[in-house]
Chain A
Amino acid sequence: MNSREPLAIRIASRGVQAFFLLGLLLVWFVATNVWHISTILLPNPLNVWQQLIDVVRSGEFVGDLRITLTEFASAFTIAVALGVTVGYSISRSRYLIKVFEPLFSAIYAIPIILFLPLYVMIWGLGPPSKIALGATIGFFPIVLNTISGFGSVDRTLTSAARSMGASDMQMFWHVLLPAALPIVLAGLRMGFTVALLSVIGSETIAALAGLGHRIVNLAENMEMARMFAYIVFVVAIVAVLNVALTMIEAYARWQ
């Protein structure tokens, strides 16, 4: 963070981090190979690595990955479309903000994963219930941030633009959007994360296919090494999606 810190301290703290992560791997290796902890509790890391290579090489993951990503993409699209439209419409009136903002915040405080059994009852075990849940969970951070982004644009800016004769379109593109964008983007980012996690989570709880369902299936069959391999795989996918999002976000801000 701070470039004024002595180089030795920076190297030392990096060293501690590397040592900690390596130590964790080493403990894992020793626990399975030397202390012979039951492989049902903790599979051998080398074994997990082999399984991971096998999962990627065989292309077995493609079907589950496609389902999970399709569910997530649909859920996120719905959440963004609804969240931004509803949020923007409400943000145009101080009165509507006062009416709806506390309502959305209150619902956002409920762990919405609770609705999953209802959604499964209405839409079944397939993708629609996951899409509905992801869209519901993703909607709230997006709508709340859109309201606060567009609702908190400085009034001097808007009245100055108005008095200089800006049209509604000009007002939106040159005044409102640039001022609101950072907060709206932060909301989209939160919505992205929670929608992705809730899709994977609902696959874990009740589903017929998808990456979350695959992990549960392997756990029930006690194929621990392969399950760990899939967990590593899902973590990697989530990380890749996050990096992609960060790049898109940086591009949008730069624009």
Chain B
Amino acid sequence: MAVTHPHARTAIVRTEAPLKRWFLRHPGAMRGLVIALLLLIWEFAARFLLDSDFISPPSVVLMSLGTLFATPGVPKALGLALYEIAIGFALAAVIGAGIGLAVGLSRFAHRSFMPIILLLYGLPQVTILPIFVLLFGIGAASKIAFGVSHGMFPIMISVAAGVQKINPVLRTSARSMGASRAQILYHVIFPHAVPSFFTGLRLGMTGVLLGVLLAELYVSTAGIGFFTSLFTQNLEPTRLIGLVAMLAVIAVVLNEIVRRAELHYGRWRA
């Protein structure tokens, strides 16, 4: 019976060692184990197999984070990148939500301008990165502008789609009960656009991070790009990996914040 039964595997699992059973019940613990194993392989390979001029073991990177932050200019460059991401994200949210609302509120505007927005969004923006730097200089402005141009389209498209999807009965009944345009906007449109706005914000954050970091890496005379090219040229893998890891942590934290916000504010609709 136990052999031919379709759930034979579970029957066998019950008889396995308790440790294996525990791991089968906790996939998260197994994930942690996989990550630890990968780090160990990296540590071993970097210490014994690979050229230490090009790669450092994770333990050394972690221990040398102090010297990374002691490098003159690095904390300032990281802070500046964070500032650019914040300003870029705020601008992308305002522009994206504004244009998204304007385009989404009227059927005619939606039909006319949505194809243009999708066309612009589909363009490979990275080709015009040098133009941004020529126009706005090598400072924060060009990076903010490039982040905004990457982040505003997903917000725009998401907000416009959210506003379009609002049941027309709600708008009509609000109007027939004597609501003014402003009242409809404030009490009907805005609450219904909130979930898609936060979905847009999550996608927009990905875009802003990409835009700002692309521009940061491209400009090699200032900011993050200066240090990445400096560390690369001086063959300092420890500080390079440390710097990249710091930026990755910033990106993960910011993504997680907007993802939580989306979960929180998108829930009421479901």
A247 within 8 A of B: no
Which residue of B24, B127, B218, B240 contacts A200 across the interface (Cβ within 8 Å)? B127
Total interface residues on A, CB under 8 Å, equals: 50
A227/B217 in contact, CB under 8 A = no
- Is A110 part of the contact surface with B, judged by Cβ < 8 Å? yes
Q: Please name the residue on chain A nearest to B123 by beta carbon.
A: A235
Q: How large is the interface on B (under 10, 10 to 19, 20 to 34, 35 or more residues)?
A: 35 or more
Bound CA–CA A13/B103 (angstroms): 13
**Stretch with Cβ within 8 A of B (4 or more), from A28-36, A55-63, A74-82, A113-121:** A113-121
The CA-CA distance from A247 to B218 in the complex, in Å, is 34
Is A165 part of the contact surface with B, judged by Cβ < 8 Å?
A: no
Among the 9-residue stretches B68-76, B180-188, B205-213, the one with 4 or more Cβ atoms under 8 Å from chain A is B205-213
B251 contacts A by Cβ under 8 Å: yes
Q: Name which of B111-119, B171-179, B190-198 contacts chain A.
A: B111-119
| Residue among B130, B229, B244 making CB contact with A204, cutoff 8 Å | B130
Give the dominant DSSP class at A's interface. helix
B2 at the interface (CB under 8 A from A): no
Residues of B within 8 Å of A114, CB to CB, are 213, 217, 244, 247-248, 251
Given contacts A103-B34, A204-B218, A234-B124, contact A117 B130 (CB under 8 A): no
Contacting residues of chain B (70-125) with chain A, CB-CB under 8 angstroms:
108, 111-113, 115-116, 122-124
Check if A250 is an interface residue, CB within 8 A of chain B. Answer: no
Q: How does the 8 Å CB contact mask read for B5-36 relative to A, with 1 for contact and 0 for none?
A: 01000000000000000001001101100110
* CB proximity to B under 8 Å, residues A82-130: 95, 98-100, 102-103, 106, 109-111, 113-118, 120-122
Q: How far is the CA of A98 from the CA of B229 in the complex (A)?
A: 39
* Total cross-chain contacts (CB, 8 A): 128
Task: Find out whether the CB atom of A109 lies under 8 angstroms from the CB atom of B255.
Answer: yes
The answer to whether B54 touches A121 (Cβ under 8 A) is yes
Give Cα A212–Cα B128 distance, bound, in whole angstroms.
10
Pairwise interchain contact A111-B31, C-beta atoms closer than 8 A: no
Chain B residues with CB under 8 A of A7 = none
Tell yes or no: A219 within 8 A of B by CB: yes
CA distance A215 to B34 in the complex (A): 42
A118 near B244 with CB under 8 A, answer: yes
Residues of A within 8 A of B241 (CB): 118
Enumerate chain A residues within 8 angstroms of B30, measured Cβ to Cβ.
95, 99
Find chain A residues with CB under 8 A from B225 CB.
Answer: 205
Q: Does A238 contact B (CB under 8 A)?
A: yes
With both chains docked as a complex, state the minimum distance between the C-beta of B221 and any C-beta of chain A, in angstroms. 12
Contacts of B55 in A (CB 8 A): 122
CA distance A67 to B248 in the complex (A): 29
Q: Across the interface, do A113 and B252 meet the contact criterion of CB distance under 8 Å?
A: no
Pick from A10, A106, A118, A200 the residue with the most CB of B within 10 Å.
Answer: A118
Chain A: CB-nearest residue to B212: A111
- Whether A106 pairs with B252 at a CB distance below 8 angstroms is yes
Contact partner, B127, options A10, A21, A234, Cβ 8 Å: A234
Residue of A12, A118, A231 near B240 (CB, 8 A) is A118
Chain B CB within 8 A of A17 CB? yes
Ranked nearest first, the 4 interchain pairs of A and B with the lowest CB-CB distance are A219-B130, A98-B27, A16-B112, A117-B228
Q: A113-B217, A121-B237, A219-B133 are in contact. List 14 more A-B contacts (CB 8 A).
A: A12-B108, A13-B108, A20-B116, A99-B30, A102-B28, A103-B35, A114-B248, A114-B251, A159-B6, A200-B124, A204-B130, A206-B229, A227-B131, A234-B127
Using a CB–CB distance below 8 Å, which chain A residues touch chain B? 1, 5, 9-10, 12-13, 16-17, 20-21, 40-41, 95, 98-100, 102-103, 106, 109-111, 113-118, 120-122, 159, 196-197, 200-201, 204-206, 212, 215-216, 219-220, 227, 231, 234-235, 238, 242
Q: List 12 A-B contacts (CB under 8 A).
A: A41-B134, A99-B34, A100-B34, A103-B31, A109-B251, A117-B228, A121-B232, A122-B54, A196-B124, A204-B126, A227-B131, A234-B127
